[in-house]
Amino acid sequence: MNAGLPYDGAVIEGREIGRGFDETCDVVIVGSGAGGAVMAAILAEAGLRVIVLEEGPYYTPAEYGSFRPTESMRRIWRESGLLTALGMGQTPVIGLSAGRCVGGSSVLTGGVCFRIPSDIHAHWVGELGLAELSEKSLEPAYQEVERRIRVAEVPEAMRSEATQRFVRGAERLGIAIHSLKRNTEGCIGNGRCNFGCPSGAKLSVDVSYIPSALAHGSRVVSDALVERVIVDHGRAVGVRGRLLDGAEGRPKSPFQVRARAVVVACGTLHTPILLLRSGLGRSTASLGRNVTLHPALRVSALFDDVLDGWNGALQSVYSNSFAREGITLVGVYSAVNVLAAALPGAGATHRRFVAEMPRHGIFGAMVHDEGGGSVRLGPSREPVLTYRMAPRDLARLRRSITILAEMAFAGGAREVYLPIFGLAPMRTVDDVQKLEQTPLDARRIECIAFHPLGSARMATDARRGVVDPNGQSYEVEDLYIADGSILPTSIGVNSQVPIMTMATRVAWRLAEQMQRSTRTARHG
């Protein structure tokens, strides 16, 4: 029998405990990202004993804020930032960004905060029968999340000059541009949020929720790989796994946590894998299916004067003018080495393009996609994600390239670099419009995705989903899911606030239920 966990109010680094552990608590939470951290804080504040188990390492904001981009990828991104969805048929190869650290993907976001659009709420209520997910029902949860992570509009002054050029182009074309909302406090526009904020200004969940969870007695353990949910007589009663404390970070010391309730919050890619490895999910056809990604791309444009686009918020504006076409436009300017990597050519040709970087502006778009993704068990502990892009979504992706290029030219760009492998820079709008009508192998499109959603979706019955409207598994009692996997459909906007809002609602219900059962047990 192993000993219990130490507690000193700080994150416990599993790799340093030097032994396995056996613990009991009220709620064990697997994952410390936007879902898990929110659950932990709310449940701990409600007086419940909580243990959070995170597979990734723990770095402080000061530490990850000092990483070079590829150091950040190596240390706190899943699969070192080289994770891809395998495209089936006419589908681009899609690079995915996901966190693997205390705080999860929230550490890697651009800080963009959207509520779920009203028409999506209406669809969930009207078409899917999920009355509990109406805009009105979720309003208190939205307010709670936005208060805690300090959601505020990005001031116009934080827009980089590179973004301003696209904004001017959009205005000339009659495309409405709005300021984004973000969860930052004291942002000075370093323009590298997705590798960890160097000023500690982004209120990712490791900053906004986990400290409260710890202060209310939760224990958060990093380097803790959960391998199985323990099920006894149809009830989830705990989890077991191993600490990543072996040679080269391999799983070694075993641990087990027994709990009255188990919350799985490993994200859209890993939640189905944990359930499948635990022998669960076989009674529903929807586990691991219908994954949506919001496939995204960016267009780079060369202007005549120096813009130094890195001086400003990484993301500051958006446009929903094309929402009916399933396209959201979002301003973005990432770290210069990332942008250099996207420029065409090799050797001296590439170096010439890179030297012009101060005159480049960038803008992005993402597509509100149909669920064409599937998560399956792979040969190692990582899942295999396949994605078949619907022809409609491919057309949307190509349309978004044209829109972004038109904005760039209208903003005064001299050349536009499209995210298509091996393509020379475009010099006129006509060239870009003609290209949209030309057949193109989709696998030439450079595509990225940041919001995998929906692999264990919420539904009104077990035939159509994995969890009920309270996040509880249909298959096993006392098992809850609280991450992006439970979103019933694609939402077409950045997902951190929606995930946190759904987790808040699940946490409130679970806290009420557990407090009620505790009172009942006490009073006989």
**For residue 311, what is the DSSP state?**
S
Distance between CA atoms of residues 312 and 107, nearest Å = 19
* Residue 486 contacts residue 320 (beta carbons within 8 Å): no
**For residue 78, what is the DSSP state?**
G
**Residue range at the interface with another protein (CB under 8 A); choices 31-39, 75-83, 172-180, 255-263:** 75-83
Q: How far is the CB of 66 from another protein (least distance, A)?
A: 4
Residues 164-183 that bind another protein (CB under 8 A): 164
470 binds another protein (CB under 8 A): no
* Residue 194 contacts residue 110 (beta carbons within 8 Å): yes
Q: How far is CA 193 from CA 69, 142, 153, in A?
A: 10, 23, 16
Residues 409-428 that bind another protein (CB under 8 A): 421-422
Beta carbon nearer to another protein, 2 or 70: 70
Both tokens of residue 42?
């709310």
Task: Give first-to-last CA distance, the chain, whole Å.
Answer: 32
364 binds another protein (CB under 8 A): no
Both tokens of residue 35?
């879902």
Distance between CA atoms of residues 255 and 234, nearest Å = 22
Q: How far is CA 97 from CA 94, 187, 214, 231, 447, in A?
A: 10, 22, 27, 32, 12
**Residue range at the interface with another protein (CB under 8 A); choices 2-10, 65-73, 393-401, 494-502:** 65-73
Quick count: other Cβ atoms within 10 Å of Cβ 49?
18
128 binds another protein (CB under 8 A): no
Beta carbon nearer to another protein, 121 or 192: 192
**Residue range at the interface with another protein (CB under 8 A); choices 196-204, 271-279, 363-371, 499-507:** 196-204
Q: How far is the CB of 285 from another protein (least distance, A)?
A: 26
Q: How far is the CB of 375 from another protein (least distance, A)?
A: 14
Give the residue from 481, 483, 509 showing the smallest Cα distance to 495: 483
123 binds another protein (CB under 8 A): no
158 binds another protein (CB under 8 A): yes
Q: What are phi and psi of 455, to 5 degrees?
A: -85, -10
Beta carbon nearer to another protein, 79 or 370: 79
| Residue 1: burial class (beta carbons within 10 Å; 0-12, 13-18, 19+) | exposed
Beta carbon nearer to another protein, 189 or 498: 189
Residues 443-462 that bind another protein (CB under 8 A): 443-444, 446
492 binds another protein (CB under 8 A): no
**Does 451 participate in catalysis according to the annotation?**
yes
* Residue 220 contacts residue 57 (beta carbons within 8 Å): no
Q: How far is the CB of 521 from another protein (least distance, A)?
A: 42
**Kind plus residue range of the DSSP H or E element containing 85:** strand 84-87
Q: How far is CA 353 from CA 146, 314, 410, in A?
A: 41, 21, 21
Among residues 24, 70, 179, 518, which is the contact residue for another protein, using CB under 8 A?
70
Q: How far is the CB of 401 from another protein (least distance, A)?
A: 16
282 binds another protein (CB under 8 A): no
**Residue range at the interface with another protein (CB under 8 A); choices 31-39, 283-291, 375-383, 391-399:** 375-383
**Residue range at the interface with another protein (CB under 8 A); choices 400-408, 442-450, 461-469, 488-496:** 442-450
**Contacts with another protein: how many residues (CB under 8 A)?**
82
Query: Residues 298-327 vs another protein: string with x where CB under 8 A?
Result: --------x-x-xxx---------------
* Residue 16 contacts residue 251 (beta carbons within 8 Å): no
Of 216, 270, 451, 523, catalytic: 451
**Residue range at the interface with another protein (CB under 8 A); choices 47-55, 80-88, 120-128, 502-510:** 80-88
Distance between CA atoms of residues 29 and 497, nearest Å = 19
Distance between CA atoms of residues 203 and 251, nearest Å = 31
Q: How far is the CB of 450 from another protein (least distance, A)?
A: 16
Both tokens of residue 207?
């900053």
Among residues 19, 351, 376, 463, which is the contact residue for another protein, using CB under 8 A?
351
434 binds another protein (CB under 8 A): no
Strand 219-222 vs strand 12-13: parallel, antiparallel, or unpaired? parallel
Beta carbon nearer to another protein, 112 or 207: 207
Residues 219-278 that bind another protein (CB under 8 A): 248-249
**Residue range at the interface with another protein (CB under 8 A); choices 111-119, 289-297, 361-369, 440-448:** 440-448
Both tokens of residue 473?
């598994």
Q: How far is CA 344 from CA 32, 47, 177, 332, 421, in A?
A: 38, 56, 29, 19, 8
161 binds another protein (CB under 8 A): yes
Among residues 3, 10, 82, 131, which is the contact residue for another protein, using CB under 8 A?
82
Write b or e for each residue in 113-131: b if 16 or more Cβ atoms lie within 10 A of its Cβ, otherwise e: bbbbbeebbeebbeebebe
Q: How far is the CB of 334 from another protein (least distance, A)?
A: 10
Both tokens of residue 463?
């035939």
Q: How far is the CB of 48 from another protein (least distance, A)?
A: 28
Among residues 128, 354, 390, 435, which is the contact residue for another protein, using CB under 8 A?
354
Active site amino acids = 451
